[in-house]
């Protein structure tokens, strides 16, 4: 990235695209796949993967974004820190998106809406929490 402002603008566009894809996943849901019985073991396994995605998304944010913000507080032009901040955000978007994608997988396997919906909701809410807010992050000590 050339500058922090460019990175922030690009991340906000990417964030919007990630949010939009969850809406597309919901539209795919409207195709009404056949209602099959999905075993509770399958649902539990997918839920464990979703919890792992939550954990990994948070850990990647801690690993990439926290040190990058510390460096950016000292020098807003630090390209290495800008790139770390950017990569950390994109990775956390991916992990949040994966949770919603797991909901789509359950739905396509034939799970009922009440089983798949929490995955969509959690994925979308986590993505909203991860909205790139650079000003407030840089002023936090």
> Tokens 């009404």 label which residue?
32
- Determine whether 63 is exposed, middle or buried from the number of CB atoms within 10 Å of its CB (0-12, 13-18, 19+): middle
pLDDT above 90: residue 5: no
Give helix 79-109 / helix 66-74 axis angle, nearest 10°: 150
pLDDT above 80: residue 123: yes
CA angle in degrees (0–180, nearest 5) for 13-22-44: 135
The pLDDT of residue 35 is 74
Per-residue pLDDT reduced to its tens digit, 55-104: 999 999 999 999 999 999 998 889 999 999 999 999 999 999 999 999 98
The pLDDT of residue 60 is 93
Q: Residue 19 and residue 34: Cα distance in Å, rounded?
A: 26
pTM: 0.85
């Amino acid at each position: 990235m050339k500058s922090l402002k460019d990175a922030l603008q690009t991340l906000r566009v990417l964030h919007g695209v990630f949010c939009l894809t969850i809406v597309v996943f919901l539209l795919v849901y409207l195709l009404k796949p056949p209602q099959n019985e999905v075993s509770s073991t399958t649902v539990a396994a997918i839920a464990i993967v979703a919890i792992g995605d939550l954990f990994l998304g948070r850990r990647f944010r801690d690993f990439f974004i926290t040190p990058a913000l510390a460096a950016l507080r000292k020098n807003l032009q630090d390209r290495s820190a800008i790139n770390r901040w950017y990569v950390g955000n994109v990775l956390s978007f991916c992990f949040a998106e994966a949770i919603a994608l797991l909901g789509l997988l359950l739905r396509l396997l034939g799970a009922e809406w009440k089983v798949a919906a929490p995955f969509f909701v959690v994925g979308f809410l986590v993505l909203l929490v991860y909205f790139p807010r650079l000003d407030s992050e840089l002023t936090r000590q």
